[in-house]
Amino acid sequence: MSVVVRRVRADEWRRARDLRLEAVRDPAARIAFLHSYEEEAAREDAFWQSRARGAAVGAEVAQFVAESGEDWVGTLSVLRREAGTPDHHGRIVETPRADVVGVYVRPDSRGEGTIEALFDAAAQWTRRLGDGSLMLDVHVDNVRAQAAYRRCGFAETGLRFTGSIGPELEMAFALDADAAGEGK
Ligand SMILES: CC(C)(COP(=O)(O)OP(=O)(O)OC[C@H]1O[C@@H](n2cnc3c(N)ncnc32)[C@H](O)[C@@H]1OP(=O)(O)O)[C@@H](O)C(=O)NCCC(=O)NCCS
């Protein structure tokens, strides 16, 4: 079944929470996500409601979900940062940037192009807001994610650092400004 990618709606906070709780139980979660299942499961409903509300509208955060029929089969979020604000690692951002976080495709939908569809939607949204690139960090041992990102057009920037989950590398995807009108 083909996949449709769209932005999450605020009233879908329970589904967004449940997909996140599934993601952080993935066998790769230790090298994929900054928060553990225990940390995520302990959060109050108000946290998930606020997160979905913030990701549904506006130009700061967008969560995209990939739907196959009625099912959600994948997700990612884009966090747009202004200079001088802290990123998800607590580092102060020097120039404005758009970070991709929370990338997850359900196991039975992997290898089927869902990740491409999610990045297409993220790139389209971010490009329209005038950003020049999408950035992400990936654990050095998360070779499957790295291979998927490379295939989707991301390349290593050369920056490596040690974060809370261990050694990570930074990747960037240049957004083609000429394509800004696509899909309008
Ligand atoms: C990362 C993720 C979103 C990628 O989506 P996906 O549908 O699995 O990606 P694809 O199958 O299209 O691509 C994976 C690539 O890794 C390769 N691959 C698969 N298993 C691999 C392995 N064990 N070692 C190395 N490469 C592997 C595939 O061959 C493919 O590369 P190719 O296109 O060059 O052949 C998904 O695997 C996932 O949700 N993983 C768990 C959470 C996670 O790691 N998120 C990323 C956090 S940064």
- Sheet of strand 4-7: strand arrangement: 4-7, 61-68, 71-81, 97-105, 133-139, 166-174, 155-163
Percent of the chain predicted with pLDDT > 90? 88
Task: Give the model confidence (pLDDT) of 37-92 as tens digits.
Answer: 999 999 999 999 999 999 999 999 999 999 999 999 999 999 999 989 998 888 89
For 43-51, the CB contacts below 8 A with 24+ separation are 43/17, 45/13, 48/13, 48/14, 48/16, 48/17, 49/10, 49/13, 51/13, 51/16
Kindly tell me the sign of the dihedral angle through the C-alpha atoms of 66, 39, 46, 57.
negative
In CATH, what is the architecture of 4-179? 3-Layer(aba) Sandwich (3.40)
Task: Give the model confidence (pLDDT) of 131-173 as tens digits.
Answer: 999 999 999 999 999 999 999 999 999 999 999 999 999 999 9
Residue 110 C-alpha to ligand 1 middle, in angstroms? 7
Task: Give the model confidence (pLDDT) of 89-139 as tens digits.
Answer: 888 988 889 999 999 999 999 999 999 999 999 999 999 999 999 999 999
pTM of the model: 0.94
Q: Give residue 94's pLDDT.
A: 87
Which atom of ligand 1 has the smallest separation from the CA of 106? 39
Most informative mutation of 136, 144, 152, 156 for ligand 1 (most atoms within 8 A of CB): 144
Write the residue with the smallest CA distance to atom 12 of ligand 1: 111
Task: Please work out whether the CB of residue 151 comes within 6 Å of at least one atom of ligand 1.
Answer: yes
pLDDT at 184 over 90: no
Task: Please work out whether the CB of residue 75 comes within 6 Å of at least one atom of ligand 1.
Answer: no
Task: Please work out whether the CB of residue 159 comes within 6 Å of at least one atom of ligand 1.
Answer: no
Token duo for residue 156: 């290593």
Which is nearest to 57 in space by CA: 4, 12, 98?
A: 12
| Domain regions of the chain by residue span | 4-179
Which atom of ligand 1 has the smallest separation from the CA of 109? 7
pLDDT at 1 over 80: no
The residue behind tokens 């029929």 is 69
